[in-house]
Amino acid sequence: MMARCMKRTALMLACAWLAGCASVPYQAPAMPLPPSYQEAPNSLQQDAIAPDWWRAYHDPALDTLLARIDVSNQSLLKSVALLNDARAQVDAARADYFPTIGAGASVTSTHLSANVLGHSRAGKTTPDYLLGLGASWEPDLFGRIGNNVDAARARLQASTDDVAAVRLALQAEAAIDYFGIRSLDREATLLDQTVAAYASVLQLVTNRYQGGIAAEGDVDQARAQWESARAQLADLTLARAQLLHALATLVGEPASTFTLPAAEAAPVDSHITLPVTPAAVPATLLQRRPDIAAAERRVAAANAQIGVARAAFFPTLMLNLNGGLESSGLAGWLTAPSRFWAVGPALAATVFDGGKREAGVASAHAQFDAAAADYRETVLKAVQDVEDNYAAVRLLQTEALRQQAAVDASNRALDQATHRYREGAAAYIEVNVVQAAMLTNARALEAVHRRQFAASVALFRALGGGWVPG
């Protein structure tokens, strides 16, 4: 009895050791990061970002639009469907832990040829009534099933993170489009005012021409400038329409039915208010971005697949059980003599496969290396993304101040040139040039404001929005 127990213990220890040989310990790929962002404000304190980060802009219309993304955006719905598929794949992999049970019933008649020599049933027809039940179970001795489950579970976690990454990207894109539309509304207000001002100047020049004070060429220049401003307004209307159509698709509505009324636009030269720039350090980026988390989970899945490939070197143990009732007639079919059964283990191993298993392990290692490279590349691009947008937020603020000064100077120059022209102290060409410069500077200022909003939204996205690992 003691010897038998020792043999069983030794067998169990051997199986456990062999299973350990098949499994591969996992550790996330090392990715050294700098202690701080070069372009960020001088702060090592990390600011928490709310899950509904877009509310920091205090725009109810934007809040309403972004709420529709979860309900109607088709790209997000597709990622949710892929998440459900990954969840089903985990259930399928986990099912291998349990026995497979099948049942069958058949009624057949077999007639043997009468010309078969030496057969007791030659020339006779034999009916056969069969009701059977079979079960098979593969104990996970060497980790093949467990590693498959680990890989499927890691892919499920990656799909969960993918949904968050898609949602964040769509929210940021919609916010940028929305702020772009509002910026174009402000620019349209500027052009409307400019068209009206140019029409007034055209009337002034026409009156002076009819009074013999101005030249006909002055009228043509004033009319050309007026028509140019109207053409720019038409081009601006086209740009708004295209942004509006893109926003409609993001919120899951046909572009033909989606509308966004123009808001009461503030003057272009007014100061815009952006949320406070959130502070962060690179070390926290690995926990703040869902795309990084998804890439890391795919590395874990690739690592588990190495264990699956290694398990192919070990034998497969199957425990089989079959039983049921079989009879040549219905009369005695359900009686005890009709019973049959078979039970026993089966051990199978591949002796020679021409290097196929070695190639499988090498392929799994190569896929792990590729996934690790994707992970590191994702981290590097994320750091670049954050640095780019920290720099953009900071430098665009400086650019806006400089451009505002240019707009103020242009307005003063236009007032002076117009006054001199009315007094007959300057030619119209001077007014024409100053008007063009004023409009160019004002539109350039609004373009800077538009980029400021885009950089602010992009920074929230680059820092992971308000995502928290599940």
199-240: per-residue pLDDT in tens?
988 998 899 899 888 888 889 999 999 999 999 999 999 999
Please identify which residue in the block is written with the tokens 């959130």. 278
Establish if 13 belongs to a structural domain: no
> Which pLDDT score, from 0 to 100, does residue 266 have?
57
Q: Rounded to 5 degrees, what are φ and ψ at 326?
A: -145, 135
**Closest Cα partner for 187 from 425, 363, 439, 5?**
439
CB atoms within 10 A of CB 81: 12
Establish if 339 belongs to a structural domain: no
Are residues 278 and 47 in contact, defined by beta-carbon separation less than 8 angstroms? yes
Q: Rounded to 5 degrees, what are φ and ψ at 457?
A: -65, -45
Give the bridge partners for 343, in sequence order.
321
With a CB cutoff of 8 Å and minimum separation 6, the contacts of 20 are: none
CA 445/CA 288 separation, integer angstroms:
33
CB atoms within 10 A of CB 177: 24
Please report, for the domain that includes residue 451, its CATH number.
Answer: 1.20.1600.10
Rg (CA), the chain: 38
CA 434/CA 426 separation, integer angstroms:
12
135 pLDDT band (50/70/90 cuts)? very high
Residue type, 307: G
CA 384/CA 382 separation, integer angstroms:
5
Query: In this predicted model, what pLDDT tens digit does every residue of 450-460 receive, in sequence order?
Result: 999 999 999 99
> Over the chain, what is the mean pLDDT?
89
**Apex CA 429: angle with CA 427 and CA 434, to 5°?**
110
> Which pLDDT score, from 0 to 100, does residue 265 have?
58
Chain Cα centroid distance, residue 180: 22
Establish if 367 belongs to a structural domain: no
With a CB cutoff of 8 Å and minimum separation 6, the contacts of 145 are: 93, 96, 97, 138
Establish if 470 belongs to a structural domain: no
pLDDT greater than 50 at residue 22: yes
Q: Crossing angle of helices 144-210/60-67, nearest 10°?
A: 140
> Which pLDDT score, from 0 to 100, does residue 9 have?
46
Establish if 53 belongs to a structural domain: yes
**Closest Cα partner for 73 from 256, 246, 241, 239?**
246
**Domains in the chain, number:** 1
CA 323/CA 343 separation, integer angstroms:
8
Establish if 134 belongs to a structural domain: no
**What is the H or E stretch that residue 466 is in?**
none
CA 20/CA 146 separation, integer angstroms:
12
**Apex CA 308: angle with CA 307 and CA 310, to 5°?**
65
CA 125/CA 328 separation, integer angstroms:
10
Query: In this predicted model, what pLDDT tens digit does every residue of 357-416 receive, in sequence order?
Result: 999 999 999 999 999 999 999 999 999 999 999 999 999 999 999 999 999 999 999 899
CA 158/CA 297 separation, integer angstroms:
5
Structure-token pair, residue 416: 């002076």
Query: In this predicted model, what pLDDT tens digit does every residue of 232-263 receive, in sequence order?
Result: 999 999 999 999 999 999 999 999 999 999 87
> Which pLDDT score, from 0 to 100, does residue 24 have?
76
Against a cut of 0.95, is the pTM above it?
no
Establish if 154 belongs to a structural domain: yes
Residue 43, classed as helix, strand or coil, is coil
**Domain with 205 in it:** 20-97+141-314+373-462
> Which pLDDT score, from 0 to 100, does residue 396 have?
96
**Closest Cα partner for 111 from 129, 123, 128, 94?**
123
89 pLDDT band (50/70/90 cuts)? very high
CA 465/CA 51 separation, integer angstroms:
7
Are residues 305 and 147 in contact, defined by beta-carbon separation less than 8 angstroms? yes
Establish if 289 belongs to a structural domain: yes
With a CB cutoff of 8 Å and minimum separation 6, the contacts of 7 are: none
**What is the H or E stretch that residue 306 is in?**
helix 290-311
> Which pLDDT score, from 0 to 100, does residue 68 have?
94
